Amino acid sequence: MSLLKRVERAQRGPGEPSDSALVPVAPAAPAPPRGPGRGEQIGDIRLRLQREVIAAFSTLVDTDPKDVPPMMEAIVDRVIKEGDLAITREEREKLVDQMTHDVTGFGPIEPFLKDQTITEVMVNGPNQIYIERAGKLERVDTSFLNDEHVMQVIDRIITPIGRRIDEMSPRVDARLPDGSRVNAIIAPLSLVGPVITVRKFSHTPFTVKDLIRFGTATPQMFQFLKACIEARLNIFVSGGTGSGKTTTLNVLSSFIPNDERIVTIEDAAELQMRQEHVLTLESRPANLEGEGEITIQGLLRNAMHMRPDRIIVGECRSGEALDMLQAMTSGHDGSLSTGHANTSRDMLRRLETMVLMTGYELPLRAIREQIASAVDLIVHTARLKDGSRKIVSITEIYGIEDDDILTRDIFAFEQTGVKDGKIEGQLVPTGIRPTFMDQFKKSGVELPKGEFGIPPPDPKKPTRARKGRWLSGDAEAVADEHVIALGKGRSIKAGGMVYVTSIGPVDPGSGLIVGASVKDQTRQCLKNLKQKLEDAGSSLEKVVWANWALKEPTDFDLFNEEWSHWFPVEQPVGQGTLMPPAQRRAGFRVSLGVIAEA
């Protein structure tokens, strides 16, 4: 017996006509009058059809999708004939399509999921469906039958990936087979009925050429970002909802060399990596008993034991930000992530908040130092008023001063006008040379002539990077003449006394700052001070007054331990002050000044 016959038999009740009497033939009734109640009549037919399909589901569950349309035609024609209903051929075909989508796809939203011009589908309860096309929202003339109908589609989405949604867990993040991201939320959290939001992704990953064609950024800017990826800078992509963060992250990740081991971590896997050596990890919610939850934070810690060259977190939302920052500063340079923020500065504030969400009582200063050391670049995206998505700034994080993270825009979006309703403009250099320019050379990255419009180095305004992870063990580090001059200090003879100021922890031979600890830097300062005094005809034994400037007042005990070794018997009279900004920026933690007998 054919599959179609089996379905028809499954639908018959006692006393109903035989198989031969159920040949599906479209009714030849005249077109029915159209009026306000016509939509309700079609809705009633759909409800009857839905019940029929649910009753036949055990027969349909293993059916080849190609066989479903004729089966739906048989059920539709049977219901029409039994009810002696008058519908047009167009309405009949629409009903067949709707029932087919209910069985093989995702119900009323199936056509929108297949439409490549649509980027987002939003179901606001059973009676409202919106789509986003070309950055603009529009309501479509389609609806679900009822809340139960919406729930059936939600179940069809989340069941294959082991997720659940119910009153105890009324929200869920999931993904479609093509990688599109899905969020669903139901009562009691949603007061309008079940809500579904689908962020669609292209079946073929967007490339640099695609984003250039969309106007997201210029070829030159993507070439600059490619150089930053190859130089292993740590990058956050920030932006508001729907601004194109994940798409931008996908394109940036395509610049990672194919011979590196990459670990991606997400709530719902949606990154589309092109490299061969990629490990994709996905978090897991708790089960019905509230157990078995695996968070992004837990996956990040596990990833540290998987020997990754780079770690990519789809989005940092809470405490996993601390683990991400630690990964960035512990041998996993070149890591990437995204975060929701209105500006690049807001992204830094959000990172601070997310670190505090771990529950650890960390000083704000320590958090900001970690952020300043870990994050090198923030690529900020935005959806403009015309619906277009663009990279609007590329911002460098280059240090910390007076408890404030130092940032500056290297490139910023400059609007040139509006043409045919579309905003025109592009990223342009701000005239600032980033401190990480030396990293390109050390990584073997060749920059084009002109270096993307970034100004050449200015000896009066040194820009050499001082992030610890870049300078540690760096035998080829280039001495900064500004730092050497700042650390040498000055000495003056007057009235039989020698006055020495601003002796810093700089090695006279290499011109580099010595040590990261206060004790190491204090030791180097005293060596330099000893030489300075001897050159002026004095010595440490003749020091009668001293001044020490510390970056952190809490460092005094460590400073005093080293100081006491150099003045074990009688220490000179002295006082401490806070370090001036110029020395902070140079990387000093301590500097010295004294008055000694000539």
Location of structure tokens 């997310």: 354
pLDDT at 463 over 70: no
Least confident stretch, 42-56, 262-276, 403-417: 42-56
In which residue are the tokens 């993040």 written?
Answer: 173
* Mean pLDDT of the 210-236 span: 94
pLDDT, tens digit (0-9, with 9 covering 90-100), for 497-535? 999 998 999 888 877 888 878 899 999 999 999 999 999
Rounded Cα distance, 527 and 566, in Å: 10
Q: Burial code of 242-261, b = ≥16 C-beta within 10 A, e = fewer?
A: ebbbbbbbbbbbbbbeeeee
**Calpha distance 588→503 (Å, rounded):** 10
Q: In terms of CATH architecture, what is 109-199?
A: 2-Layer Sandwich (3.30)
Question: Poorest-confidence range of 206-210, 490-494, 585-589?
Answer: 585-589
Residue with tokens 């020997």: 307
**The tokens of 232 are what?**
């292993």
Residue 567 has pLDDT above 60, yes or no: yes
Query: What's the token pair of residue 574?
Result: 């002295």
Sign of CA dihedral 431, 436, 441, 446: negative
Q: Token pair 């394109």 is at which residue?
A: 251
Mean pLDDT estimate for the chain: 83
Nearest CA among 216, 252, 257 for reference residue 237: 252
Tell me the three state secondary structure of residue 280: strand
The yes-or-no verdict on residue 110 having pLDDT over 90 is no
Residues near 276 by Cβ (< 8 Å), separated by ≥ 6? 258
Predicted pLDDT at 469: 64
Q: What is the CA radius of gyration of the chain?
A: 34
Quote the tokens at residue 505.
């922890």
Report the 10 Å Cβ neighbour count for 562: 19
pLDDT above 80 (res 354)? yes
Confidence of residue 18 (pLDDT cuts 50, 70, 90): very low
Residues 6+ apart with CB under 8 A from 481: 459, 462, 511
- For the segment 71-76, the average pLDDT, to the nearest whole number, is 75
Q: How confident is the model at residue 21 (pLDDT cuts 50, 70, 90)?
A: very low
Q: What's the confidence (pLDDT) of residue 509?
A: 80
Provide the β-strand partners of residue 491.
500
Q: How far apart are CA 170 and CA 218, in angstroms?
A: 43
CATH number of 481-597: 3.30.1330.40
Contact yes or no for 216/197 (Cβ under 8 A): no
pLDDT of residue 233: 95
Nearest Cα residue to 529 out of 516, 540, 545: 540
**For residue 215, pLDDT beyond 60:** yes
Q: Residue 31 — pLDDT band, cuts 50, 70, 90?
A: very low
Q: Which residue has the higher pLDDT, 585 or 561?
A: 561
CA angle 360/361/363 to nearest 5° reads 125
CATH of domain 237-453: 3.40.50.300
Q: E-strand spans in 292-448? A: 310-313, 336-340, 377-383, 389-401, 404-419, 422-429
What are the extents of the domains in the chain?
A: 3-104, 109-199, 237-453, 481-597
* Beta bridge partner(s), residue 590: 550
Q: Which of 251-260, 401-410, 579-588 has the lowest mean pLDDT?
A: 579-588
